[in-house]
Amino acid sequence: MNILFTSAGRRVELLRAFRAAYGKLDLKGSILAIDVDPLAPSLQVADRSYLVPPLRSPEYVPTLIDVCRRHEVNVIFPLIDPDISVLADARVELEETGARVAVVAKQAAEMISDKWLTVQLFRSAGLATPLSWLPEHLRETKVTYPLFIKPRRGSAGKLAFKVNNERELKFFCDYVPDPIIQEYLPGDEITNDVVVDLDANVLGVVSRRRIEVRSGEVAKGVTVYNPVVTQACVTLTHRLPAIGPITVQCILKDGVPCFTEINARMGGGFPLGIVAGADSPQWLLGKLAGLPVEIPPLGSYQVGLHLTRFDDSFFLTEAQYEQMEGNRLRPGRRAVSGTKLRP
């Protein structure tokens, strides 16, 4: 069972959790990771690591296909939002290699990449969502400050701002590309890691309150449980439908969850749910390999478990850096080895 993570970046904890799952299942196979940056930390913990062309390059998908064929990849997991639409568009070509692609269908990918369409999805599912407007709606609408503005197709919390008055709103409507404006909700932000297999079955839902965020990823958090939120996540999973893990975000307004975003991938805080008892790597690998795995009832995880993160480091000599650069895949060129470095 060989698995591939795209845009592996900093997700060392996640790859290590999958490595542990291989051991628990006594399952053979390799973990592959790709990125554009030779200093992406996760490349140091995969069995095979490759540098690939940029995501929007016409050579990206052919390169990914080559890696899948060469290493008989069984499943591809995206780890950042921009990968999702690219993988969804290329699903047929990628799955012709024998790999399954753990991303939603093209229509669902479009819906969740556009936050205005995501709002319509929440409303159609009967779920509360923040009051939302596009800039052209504000000409005939009286709004109450503060507001919140972000790009319709943004990711990782970039270019998202609190808006305190009309002057700031005018500025940010020009500054933020293609924005969506929403009411500002000061309540707790709850991120929900929804473990979904590749047949759209919900295996688990873990909710965690975000205490501190750094660059769009949780730095401190704590597991919580709300049955209303859990059921809403199951509903959204089926409406998409989800293929592979997703992350659903909501913010509490007077105790009522208002749903804000869906990321069709494993979120940065997934390791907290794993340690809390929702062993998603073991469940996913076991199901993919056809092995018997015990899936507990929804909500069967430790509540009140805190996460606090710190930085760790890998150190590469110049020779090791050059070796990693030698694993950069380009049209017509084979990588030197594809093996991880051990600094």
Domains along the sequence of the chain with CATH: 1-103+313-343 (3.40.50.20), 104-129+186-311 (3.30.470.20), 131-183 (3.30.1490.20)
Contact 196, 237 (CB under 8 A): yes
Residue with tokens 């709850």, as numbered in its chain: 190
For residue range 299-311, list pLDDT tens digits in order. Answer: 999 999 999 999 8
pTM of the shown model: 0.92
**Sheet with 256-263, edge to edge strand ranges:** 256-263, 246-253, 189-196, 202-214, 217-224, 306-308
The two tokens of residue 219 are 């730095």
Range list of H helices, the chain: 12-25, 60-71, 81-89, 91-95, 106-113, 115-124, 166-175, 227-239, 270-275, 280-289, 318-325
Q: Which two tokens stand for residue 66?
A: 């080559």
Neighbours of 123 (CB within 10 A): 13
**Quick one: tokens of 279?**
């062993």
Q: How far is CA 128 from CA 234, 250, 262, 322, in A?
A: 15, 9, 14, 51
User: What is the Cα–Cα distance from 133 to 271, expressed in whole angstroms?
Assistant: 35
pLDDT in tens, 209-245: 999 998 778 899 999 999 999 999 999 999 999 999 9
Q: How far apart are CA 233 and CA 300, in angstroms?
A: 15
- Can you say whether the dihedral through the CA atoms of 320, 322, 323, 324 is positive or negative? positive
Q: What pLDDT score does 336 carry?
A: 44
Say what the pLDDT of residue 331 is: 56
Give the pLDDT of residue 332: 53
Closest CA to 197 of 291, 314, 123, 115: 291
Cα R_g (the chain), whole angstroms: 20
Provide block-wise average pLDDT over 10 residues at a time, the chain (343 residues): 96 97 96 96 96 95 96 97 96 97 96 96 96 91 94 86 95 95 95 96 97 88 97 96 96 95 94 96 96 94 96 92 86 49 36
HSE-CB at 14 with a 13 A cutoff on CA atoms is 25
